[in-house]
């Protein structure tokens, strides 16, 4: 292969990679992000266009300079023919599946509420059925799947991909989730902790957009955090970073499933909130609804949970000094009833400068954050999604 050909293939991969990771992008931005000459970018786009891998979308709304020559700005996006990205999110009480094109448009979604913990094999069978449904709905063939991302609650250990024993899904402990899901779908699967996926999607498309340093809190049955540090997702050396739910708040508190006492999750997770209300409610959404209706005990239970979570988040802010803390998970539906005491306790507990730098915001993507993060995990692989030249 000549060096010219190599250069051209590299340029093609770079342009494709930026389009997959960033979504619809102007030519000028493509040149900036790929560090390629504008003429090279134009040549590569023409080539990708000829292969039916890109389309041009109407202008991005940015005003043209007075007297500007040439065509108005248009955005370049990967075409549906370039493939689809699949996202899966497994929770304790839900399973979500989403399929998106490589231009970041979600094409179809499925959501199943689960009555009880499913063993891994049953959950995988259900996910496989839902994947079949979303592919049917969008008219996509399995061969068009460019990648699959999958979220699980709990730390996913590298490099084995096994779920650690502090997960809230006992049926998955020791299961090599990526391998098992991959065997069912016939495609490679990338597994990530669900809070890390929530961080990724809120950072790419939601309340964390534009922040280089942020933390996402997933407040639900379990409590976890996903971290973006200096513009990159941060999982730590082995994938365990962000286990804020096991911050010890009260050394004499209740025993946690991790084996310690008084972890944040034992004091402010959904079981603790339900427990503090003497069995008046079976599920968190009912507590939130009654709090919104003014039920004093429900408001108190949610407010206390927010204040307790804020203490742990203060420590997180002291350590990482994020610009934003984005709050997601089932409990986030309580809105200001949760966020106000959380932010107040954060401000009291963090050093002044860390507290001044951070804004506490509700997530913008709601309970879809994790499944969309699984899609984002695929899209961020960028150039790795490039179909072989001449396909289709």
CB of 267 to Zn ion, least distance (A): 10
Backbone angles phi, psi at 281, to 5 degrees: -130, 145
CB of 257 to Zn ion, least distance (A): 6
CB of 236 to Zn ion, least distance (A): 17
**Residue count at the site for Zn ion (CB under 5 A)?**
5
Which of residues 258, 286, 297, 383 is near Zn ion by CB under 5 A? 258
CB of 175 to Zn ion, least distance (A): 21
Q: Which residue, 30 or 273, is less far from Zn ion as judged by CB?
A: 273
Q: Which stretch binds Zn ion (CB under 5 A): 183-191, 197-205, 230-238, 241-249?
A: 241-249
CB of 181 to Zn ion, least distance (A): 27
* DSSP 8-state class, residue 227: E
Which of residues 80, 110, 246, 380 is near Zn ion by CB under 5 A? 246
List the x/- string, 118-137, binding to Zn ion by CB under 5 A. --------------------
Q: Which stretch binds Zn ion (CB under 5 A): 108-116, 240-248, 295-303, 317-325?
A: 240-248
For position 256 contacting Zn ion by CB under 5 A, the verdict is yes
- Helices and strands counted in the chain (H then E): 13, 13
Contact 73, 135 (CB under 8 A): no
Helical packing angle, 296-320 and 284-292, nearest 10°: 110
CA torsion angle 313 350 334 209 (round to 10):
-70
DSSP secondary structure string for all residues of 321-338: --SEEEEESGGGGGTHHH
CB of 281 to Zn ion, least distance (A): 23
Distance (Å, rounded) from C-alpha 300 to C-alpha 277? 10
Helical packing angle, 27-34 and 3-22, nearest 10°: 120
For position 249 contacting Zn ion by CB under 5 A, the verdict is no
CB of 222 to Zn ion, least distance (A): 9
Q: Which residue, 34 or 221, is less far from Zn ion as judged by CB?
A: 221
Q: Which residue, 38 or 170, is less far from Zn ion as judged by CB?
A: 170
Pairing of strands 359-362, 223-229: unpaired
CB of 246 to Zn ion, least distance (A): 4
Q: Which stretch binds Zn ion (CB under 5 A): 4-12, 17-25, 256-264, 311-319?
A: 256-264
Q: Which stretch binds Zn ion (CB under 5 A): 76-84, 109-117, 206-214, 258-266?
A: 258-266
Distance (Å, rounded) from C-alpha 159 to C-alpha 329? 27
Backbone angles phi, psi at 69, to 5 degrees: -95, 165
CB of 49 to Zn ion, least distance (A): 53
Contact 101, 55 (CB under 8 A): no
| Number of other CB atoms surrounding residue 107 within 10 Å | 17
Sequence-ordered alpha helix ranges (H) in the chain: 3-22, 27-34, 38-50, 120-138, 177-185, 194-205, 264-268, 270-276, 284-292, 296-320, 336-349, 352-357, 369-379
Q: Which residue, 77 or 263, is less far from Zn ion as judged by CB?
A: 263
Query: C-alpha angle 345/347/352, rounded to 5°?
Result: 150
Distance (Å, rounded) from C-alpha 28 to C-alpha 352? 41
CB of 256 to Zn ion, least distance (A): 3
Contact 196, 154 (CB under 8 A): no
CB of 60 to Zn ion, least distance (A): 46
- What's the start-to-end Cα distance of the chain, in Å? 23
Q: Which residue, 263 or 378, is less far from Zn ion as judged by CB?
A: 263
Contact 25, 19 (CB under 8 A): yes
Tell which positions 81-120 bind Zn ion, by CB under 5 A.
none
Q: Which residue, 245 or 328, is less far from Zn ion as judged by CB?
A: 245
Q: Which stretch binds Zn ion (CB under 5 A): 92-100, 146-154, 249-257, 285-293?
A: 249-257
Q: Which stretch binds Zn ion (CB under 5 A): 45-53, 91-99, 262-270, 274-282?
A: 262-270
Which of residues 263, 338, 339, 360 is near Zn ion by CB under 5 A? 263
List the x/- string, 151-190, binding to Zn ion by CB under 5 A. ----------------------------------------
Backbone angles phi, psi at 291, to 5 degrees: -65, -40
Q: Which residues bind Zn ion (CB under 5 A)?
A: 246, 256, 258, 260, 263
């Amino acid at each position: 292969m000549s060096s010219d050909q190599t250069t051209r293939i590299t340029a093609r991969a770079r342009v494709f990679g930026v389009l997959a990771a960033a979504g619809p992008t102007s030519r000028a931005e493509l040149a900036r992000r790929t560090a390629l000459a504008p003429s090279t970018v134009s040549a590569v786009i023409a080539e990708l266009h000829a292969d039916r891998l890109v389309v041009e979308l109407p202008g991005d709304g940015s005003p043209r300079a007075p007297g500007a020559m040439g065509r108005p700005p248009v955005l370049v996006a990967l075409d549906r023919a370039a493939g689809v990205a699949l996202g899966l999110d497994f929770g304790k009480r839900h399973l979500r599946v989403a399929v998106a094109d490589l231009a970041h448009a979600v094409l179809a979604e499925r959501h199943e509420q689960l009555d009880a913990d499913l063993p891994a094999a049953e959950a995988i069978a259900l996910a496989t059925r839902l994947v079949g449904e979303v592919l049917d709905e969008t008219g996509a063939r399995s061969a068009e799947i460019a990648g699959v991302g999958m979220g699980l609650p709990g730390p996913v250990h590298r490099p084995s991909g096994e779920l650690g024993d502090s997960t809230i899904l006992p049926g998955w402990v020791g299961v090599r989730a990526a391998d098992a899901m991959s065997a069912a779908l016939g495609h490679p699967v990338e597994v990530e902790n669900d809070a890390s996926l929530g961080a990724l999607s809120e950072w790419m498309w939601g309340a964390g957009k534009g922040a280089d340093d942020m933390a996402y809190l997933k407040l639900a049955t379990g409590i976890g955090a996903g971290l973006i540090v200096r513009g990159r997702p941060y999982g730590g050396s082995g994938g365990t970073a962000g286990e804020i739910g096991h911050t010890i708040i009260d050394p004499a508190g209740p025993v946690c499933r991790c084996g310690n006492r008084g972890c944040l999750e034992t004091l402010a997770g959904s079981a603790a909130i339900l427990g503090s209300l003497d069995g008046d409610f079976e599920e968190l959404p009912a507590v939130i609804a009654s709090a919104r209706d003014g039920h004093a005990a429900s408001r108190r239970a949610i407010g206390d949970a927010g204040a307790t979570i804020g203490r742990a988040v203060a420590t997180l802010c002291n350590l990482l000094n994020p610009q934003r803390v984005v709050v997601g998970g089932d409990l986030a539906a309580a809105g200001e009833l949760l966020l106000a005491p959380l932010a107040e306790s954060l401000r009291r507990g963090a050093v002044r400068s860390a507290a001044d730098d951070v804004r506490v915001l509700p997530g913008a993507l709601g309970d879809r954050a994790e499944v969309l993060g699984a899609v984002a995990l695929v899209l961020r692989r960028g150039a790795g999604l490039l179909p072989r030249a001449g396909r289709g």
